[in-house]
Amino acid sequence: MMAAIAAHPELGRPAGIPLPTGSMRDHMWWPARNDLLWPSDGALDFVTAVLRRVADLFPGRWVHIGGDECAYQQWASDPQMPDLLRERGLDKVEDLQAWFIAHASRVLADLGRSVVAWDEAAAITDAEDILLIAWDEERGMARAAEATQPYVFADARTLYLNRVDPAGAATQKGMLPAIGVRDILAADWAEASAERCVGVQACVWSEFVLDGDDLLSMLFPRLLAVAERIWNREVDIDSAADAVAAEYRVLREHGLLTASA
């Protein structure tokens, strides 16, 4: 959203209002940024236009609208925010995120599409037509357990492959703590077996990925371990690790992976 606001400043924080100080998240350092839409007709028009364009470009049913890491303090620090909330029939700044999600959901419903959102959405809406992506480690798994909506299991502790691989063939820059093949094979994925879980998702976020070779080094061989866990819930760690290593060698021998991977 920062890029959209940089291009269209009227969508974001009003000019002249300083950003709040301190961290925007309790468990980590997260400075305030001008990355939230302000409640305005223009912001709703922008959301509508973007979602209509996405629906034009992509034929699939599901459209991911985000919804994570929303720093309410940034809205609350605007002296005019109480008036903006009253104009929209809202009681508090925390209601703004649900207000935006409800608007996006209506737009997508009119287009015959359905909403996907990060697991934080479960704490602010009980709409049954939302598919959650449960990513946020212990917090996300707790939200998924308490929610009623279906979800995709994407626990960042073992499914964020932008974490450093301790056995990586190349020097990597990425999230910590590191995770290796055996960590993935041995992880407790109880949430992935729940009735409301409709799938498993592995991610690589690109903040620290330098190029295609670097991407492959982050993906392999750990993506093979993810696949093994998905297909074989009762995995034997030793035999699965051997199978992953053997398949990794095959990929390298056939030139499908670069030397750095």
DSSP state of 202: -
Give me the helices (H) in the chain, please: 2-7, 41-57, 72-76, 81-87, 94-110, 137-146, 156-159, 181-186, 212-219, 222-231, 237-253
Can you tell me the distance from the alpha carbon of 89 to that of 119, in angstroms, rounded to the nearest whole number? 25
Q: Side chain identity at 73, as an amino acid letter?
A: Q
**CA gap 162, 171 in Å, rounded:** 13
**Catalytic annotation present for 195:** no
Which string of b and e fits 114-139 if b means at least 16 CB within 10 Å?
A: ebbbbbbbbebbebeebbbbbbbeee
* Other C-beta atoms lying within 10 Å of the C-beta of residue 163: 23
Strands of 197-200's sheet in order across: 62-64, 114-118, 130-134, 151-153, 197-200
Contact 150, 160 (CB under 8 A): no
Determine the angle formed by the axes of helices 212-219 and 222-231, rounding to 10 degrees.
40
- Residue with the two structure tokens 């709040």: 20
Marked catalytic residue, from 69, 87, 191, 207? 69
Q: Which residues have a catalytic role annotated?
A: 69
